[in-house]
Amino acid sequence: MIDIEAVTKRYSPNKRPAVDLLSLHVDSGEIFGFLGPNGAGKSTTIRMMVGLLRQDTGTIKVCGYDNIAQNVEMKRCIGYVPDEPLFYENMSGRKYLDFISDVFDIDLDTRIARIAKWAGRFSLIDALDDKISSYSRGMKQKLGVIAALIHDSRILVLDEPMVGLDPKSAFVLKEVMREFCNTGGTVFFSTHVMDVAERLCDTVGIINKGALIASGTFASLKESTGENQATLEQLFLELTDEEVETNDTHSRV
Amino acid sequence: MKKSKLMILTRAYSRGIGFWQQFGLSDTKSIRAEQNPLRRLRRQLVNVLLMLLLLVALASVAVMLVINFLQIERIGAMLGINGLSVLTSSVLAALILFLLATYTAGSTLFKAADLKFLVTLPVRADTIFLSRILLHYRTNVIVYWALMLPSYIAVGIVHGLSVQLIVNGIILLLTGPVLPLSCSALFSRLFAKNKSRVGRYVELVAFGLLIVSLAVLQGLMTRWARTGFLDIDPTQILASLSTMADKAISWLPLSVLQTRMIVSEESAGMGPLVATILHLASAGIATFFILRIAATDYVSVLNFNVSTQQSVKKRKGSPGKIEKQRSMLSALITKEFAVINGHNAFMFELYAEAFVPIILIAVYSVGGLMTDISSAIAFISDLTLFPFIFCGILLAVASITMMSSTSISRETPLLDIIRSLPIPTKRHVQAKIAAHLLMFGTAFVFYTVIGMLLLPVGFMHIVWMLPLGATVMIISSCLGLAIDYMRPMYQWKLPQQAIKQNVNGIIGMVASIVVLGIFGGLAILLVQVLGLSVMLSGFILALLGALMTIPAWKVLLQVASGLYENI
Ligand SMILES: Nc1ncnc2c1ncn2[C@@H]1O[C@H](COP(=O)(O)OP(=O)(O)OP(=O)(O)O)[C@@H](O)[C@H]1O
Ligand SMILES: [Mg+2]
């Protein structure tokens, strides 16, 4: 479903690449958790995956569509939740969802049913007719998730979707992600919450300084590091810390 | 200690955004950082061209003002009032500065997004307030200078250059704007805590007043010029003017002091030094008290704005219904207007551009100026070209606008949402052109019909005027959009920057003027040189316009796809 092949991206020619020869494969029906410290290159990878940013080298295919040559077709099969929830603030939540539905050409009955369903599940119904400018951070985040779900895409790409959600909404979101995969969809999300990743993901990838340093199922990660009792949190700290240390010794020399 | 905090706050605002960048020009540092030498050269060239363009535009306005002030100064000499031009310009500049600044004072002083953050810092509220006043000064002072300098030049030409003119001129340029700006701060403070919609519309009112006062001023001048030159008894006019000037002098002590700073008058019994000291002292005291009042409860005003921004009106009653499915195009057009309606600055600028002429016509009619205008028009209405002149003027009103040429800049903070959706470039661009036509095309049709009712233009000409107008507007819109797609303004903190301080807007307007010029030239060629009938020429031009939309559209698509599809 998602094929990233040797992708490199530099924001400026004299800095180190934000994403460095990254290769990743996510199969359909999988939940993939994308982990990494701040500034590791998660959002950059995601922005390339959803067709907002062009990679310098390498190829990215989502649903079989190339992110550059078939940009619009590719976007059609992705539901994307950006890391920062920005909207047309003077629209109401419902107007915004209506706008998204128009763009995805969803017929009237379907969209009304879906808006009711998702807004109900995320308890946003009461606020739906208020202006988005009156929403809290978490409400905006929920609106973003609903907007990504409403067109029934095959792939969900979420950049730190849990940020700002209350415990119940976070729980619902996890449920929704699981259901989404059970019905054949694919979920790709980045997060800093290790517990969520550990319990929810079929596979995880850990990125540090633009390079993928580990990927696979949680079990296979434990095996490869030889620490069978470790939690994902411990593995993450160990894997990313190692990198830092080797770099430190480099710079000291 | 306090002073340094003030400087930090004032500077912090412009951190990360160079002086030129706020107008949409690239700053020199970013150009030097460009690796590719060819690109660097190109960007430098573009920058230089843009600056030249700006200078030419400013210079032409300045020359016009200087000529006007020269006349005023000469009339003053006839009345025995030296420095009448300075008196006029100081009143004018203060008034216009006040109105213009009121229109943005609220967003700079009380509602800017970064204030939410600043109030949490361990800085005294007065310091924040003062730093915002300095910003307010910095953004608006140029208007004052643009209006005052020409009168100094006029004085210099009439009375000769002097140390007094230069030194006091500089002092006045720097201190003159302070009082009007403080007044604008006070004025918008009065409404800053108003929960009703009044507060929001204060800016609109100020804007409306600005337009009306400009119209009245223009009307007065035209009228004055007409009576001045056509009527027979100049002594009577001089006498009436003289009493007017005397009245003005007794009403405007500060402006008189300012005038005396620049031009001495023996009968005034006051040297330039005394005038300067008196002016600085009185204006300083007034400013102090006005700012004191404007700064009362500053923190609570800021908190008020923070909290009200969160609780915008909630619609009561029936839940919003979704009535019908729209096409992607009409959804995108809705979005265009959602962006415009998202900020007062965008609304005022664009809706005013489209519909201010209606206000002008209303003001003129009330002022009895319409008859003057139509008698002036009677003179040109006999020309064969008149229908083209008529159409050209209306098109100038409708197509010289920032609507398209700041369209992408206006939505840059939200660009990621729209870019992540599966929308073909073609649709994006169509929606933007359609929004342009909806606003300015409607205005054009409206003006054309009204104009045809008022003026001796045959109604049959509407059959070519409307298609010609549509094609010219489409071409201008395409050019404006292409300009903004090539170099949208990405980092803006206040919405005014995306529209009023955006060079793209000016370039777009110039491009529209060029397009109009080309069509005007062609009209002259067809009618005057080739001797074709107006009707036939109109059709030929409309056809030509239709043909020209094709390359304009192609270029636009090419440029726009870089943002949406061809990432
Ligand atoms: N617009 C940009 N211009 C220049 N550099 C950027 C830009 N966006 C990101 N970077 C750089 O690219 C690198 C990767 O950033 P990215 O946003 O992908 O990190 P991230 O993994 O999403 O971090 P976080 O967990 O904090 O969200 C960082 O070093 C960052 O400084
Ligand atoms: Mg990120």
A249 CB within 6 A, ligand 1: no
HEC secondary structure over B409-427: HHCHHHHHHHHCCCCCHHH
Higher pLDDT pick, B368 / A132: A132
DSSP β-bridge partners for residue B164: none
- pLDDT-wise least confident of A184-193, A240-249, B339-348: A240-249
* pTM (two decimals): 0.77
Among B183-192, B372-381, B426-435, whose mean pLDDT is lowest? B372-381
- In terms of Cα–Cα distance, which of B59, B56, B259, B251 is closest to B155? B259
User: Per the structure block, which two tokens stand in for B266?
Assistant: 């023996």
Residue A167 domain flag:
no
8 A C-beta contact, residue A61 and residue A67? yes
**Predicted local distance difference test score (pLDDT) of residue B353:** 79
Contact between chains at A104 and B422 (C-beta distance less than 8 A): yes
Q: Is the per-residue pLDDT at B317 higher than 60?
A: no
Task: Write out chain A residues lying below 8 Å of B423, CB-based.
Answer: 72, 103
Q: How far is CA B448 from the centre of its chain?
A: 24
Does residue B334 contact residue A99 with C-beta atoms inside 8 Å?
yes
Distance from CA of B373 to the nearest CA of A (A): 42
Q: Which of A2-16, B316-330, B371-385 is modeled with the greatest confidence? A: A2-16
Extract the tokens encoding A235.
């593995």
Would you state the pLDDT for residue A250?
A: 44
Residue B479: predicted pLDDT: 94
- ipTM score assigned to the predicted complex: 0.90
Total number of domains constituting chain A: 1
pLDDT band at B223 (very low <50, low <70, confident <90, very high): low
Rounded to the nearest angstrom, the distance between the alpha carbon of A44 and the centre of ligand 1 is 6
Instruction: Tell me whether residue A224 is in a domain.
Output: no
Identify the residue among A90, A95, A131 best suited for mutation to test binding to B, counting B beta carbons within 10 A and taking the highest: A90
Label residue B371 by pLDDT band (50, 70, 90). low
A100 lies in a domain? yes
What is the phi-psi region of residue A160: left when phi exceeds 0, alpha when psi lies from -120 to 50, beta otherwise? left
Q: Does residue A108 belong to any structural domain of this protein?
A: yes
Contacts of B397 (CB under 8 A, 6+ apart): B357, B443, B444, B447
Q: Does pLDDT of B164 surpass 60?
A: yes
Do B476 and B511 contact (CB within 8 A), yes or no? Answer: yes
Nearest CA residue ID for atom 29, ligand 1: A39
Q: How many CB atoms lie within 10 A of CB A91?
A: 20
Strands A186-190 and A31-35: parallel
Q: What's the order of all strands across the beta sheet hosting A155-159? A: A78-81, A155-159, A186-190, A31-35, A203-208, A211-216
Q: Mark A71-84 as b/e (b = at least 16 C-beta within 10 Å).
A: bbebbbbbbbbbbe
Which tokens go with B238? 């001089």
Rounded Cα–Cα distance for residues A161 and A191 (Å) = 7
The reply to whether A230 touches chain B by the CB within 8 Å rule is no
- What pLDDT was estimated at residue A181? 92
pLDDT value of residue B56: 78
Q: How far is B130 from chain A (nearest CA, A)?
A: 29
Rounded to the nearest angstrom, the distance between the alpha carbon of A163 and the centre of ligand 2 is 11
State the pLDDT confidence band at B366, using cuts at 50, 70 and 90.
low
Lowest mean pLDDT among B65-74, B227-236, B458-467: B227-236
Using pLDDT thresholds of 50, 70 and 90, give the confidence band for residue A229.
confident
**Cross-chain residue pair A71–B566, CB shorter than 8 Å:** yes
CB contact A222 to B (< 8 Å)? no
Answer whether residue B507 shows pLDDT above 80.
yes
Residue B15 has pLDDT above 80, yes or no: no
- Select the highest-mean-pLDDT range: B45-59, B194-208, B409-423: B409-423
Q: Is the per-residue pLDDT at B469 higher than 90?
A: yes
Centre a 10 Å sphere on the Cβ of residue B547 and count the other Cβ atoms it contains: 10
E strand segments, A10-146: 19-26, 31-35, 57-62, 65-66, 78-81
Residues A172/A2, Cβ–Cβ less than 8 Å: no
Question: What mean pLDDT do residues B214-241 have?
Answer: 58
Would you give the end-to-end CA distance of chain B in angstroms? 49
Q: How far apart are the first and last CA of chain A?
A: 43
CB-CB under 8 Å, A102 with B328: yes
B120 touches chain A (CB under 8 A): no
pLDDT above 60: residue A242 = no
What pLDDT is recorded for position B333? 94
For residue B306, the distance in angstroms to the closest alpha carbon of chain A comes to 11
Q: Are B351 and B450 in contact (CB under 8 A)?
A: no
Q: Does B326 touch chain A (CB under 8 A)?
A: yes
Which residues are CB-neighbours of B327 under 8 A, at least 6 positions away? Answer: A102
Between chain A and chain B, how many beta carbons pairs sit less than 8 Å apart?
Answer: 107
Asked whether residue B565 carries a pLDDT value surpassing 70, the answer given is: yes
pLDDT at B229 (0 to 100): 45
User: Quick check: A102 and B315 CB within 8 A?
Assistant: no
What pLDDT band is residue B220 in, cutting at 50, 70 and 90? low
Q: How far apart are CA B233 and CA A245, in angstroms?
A: 95
Is any ligand 1 atom within 6 A of the Cβ of residue A50? no
The tens digit of pLDDT for each residue in B111-161 reads: 777 777 777 777 788 888 888 898 889 888 888 998 888 899 988 888 888
CA distance A230 to B488: 50
Are A151 and A100 spatial neighbours (Cβ–Cβ below 8 Å)? Answer: yes
Residue with the smallest CA separation from ligand 1 atom 12 is A18
Q: Mean pLDDT, chain B, as a whole number?
A: 80
Percent with pLDDT over 70 in chain A: 95
Q: What is the pLDDT of residue B17?
A: 52
Write b or e for each residue in B32-56: b if 16 or more Cβ atoms lie within 10 A of its Cβ, otherwise e. Answer: eeeeeeeeeeebeebbeebeeeeee
**Better-scored residue on pLDDT, A152 or B213:** A152
**pLDDT tens for each residue of B518-546:** 999 999 999 888 888 889 999 999 999 99
Interface membership of A98 toward B (CB under 8 Å): yes
Residue B240 has pLDDT above 70, yes or no: no
Look at A53-57, A170-174, B348-352, B559-563 and tell me which has the smallest mean pLDDT: B348-352
Mean pLDDT of B436-462: 87
Q: Does A51 touch chain B (CB under 8 A)?
A: yes
Closest to B183 in 3D by CA, of B98, B257, B105: B98
pLDDT of residue A79: 94
The larger pLDDT score, comparing residue A22 to residue B272, is at: A22
Phi and psi (nearest 5°) for A32?
-110, 125
Most confident of B106-115, B392-401, B454-463, B476-485: B476-485
Q: What percent of chain B has pLDDT over 70?
A: 79
Q: Is the CB of A18 under 6 A from ligand 1?
A: yes
Read off φ and ψ for residue B420, nearest 5 degrees.
-85, -5
- Over 80: is that where the pLDDT of A244 sits? no
Among A101, A126, A104, A92, CA closest to B341: A92
On the question of pLDDT at A128 being above 50, the answer is yes
A47-93 pLDDT per residue, tens: 999 999 999 999 999 999 999 999 999 999 999 999 988 898 888 99
Statement: residue B477 has pLDDT above 60: yes
Task: Give kind and range of the element (H or E) at residue B301.
Answer: helix B298-310
Q: Which ligand is nearest to the CA of A16?
A: 1
Span A97-111, pLDDT tens digits: 999 999 999 999 999
Q: How far apart are CA B442 and CA B407, in angstroms?
A: 18
CA distances from B566 to A60, B270, B410 (A): 14, 70, 21
Helix B442-454 × helix B386-399 angle, to 10°: 150
A27: pLDDT strictly greater than 80: yes
Taking an 8 Å cut-off on Cβ atoms, the answer to whether A51 and B567 are in contact is yes
B34 pLDDT exceeds 80? no
Residue A186 lies in a domain: no
- What is the average pLDDT across B207-212? 72
Q: What is the pLDDT of residues B36-69, one digit of tens each?
A: 777 778 777 877 877 777 777 777 777 878 888 8
Confidence (pLDDT) at A253: 37
A84 lines ligand 1 (CB under 6 A): no
Confidence of residue B438 (pLDDT cuts 50, 70, 90): very high
In Å, how far is A165's CA from the nearest CA of chain B?
18
The average pLDDT across B234-245 equals 66
Q: Nearest to residue B154, comparing CAs of B214, B74, B224?
A: B74
Please tell me the predicted confidence (pLDDT) of residue B210.
72
Q: Can you tell me the mean pLDDT for B372-384? A: 70
Instruction: For residue A78, list chain B residues with Cβ-Cβ distance below 8 A.
Output: 420
Share of chain B above pLDDT 90, in %: 23
> Mean pLDDT throughout B335-360?
81
By residue range, what is the domain housing residue A105? 91-152
Q: Does ligand 1 lie within 6 Å of residue A16's CB atom?
A: no
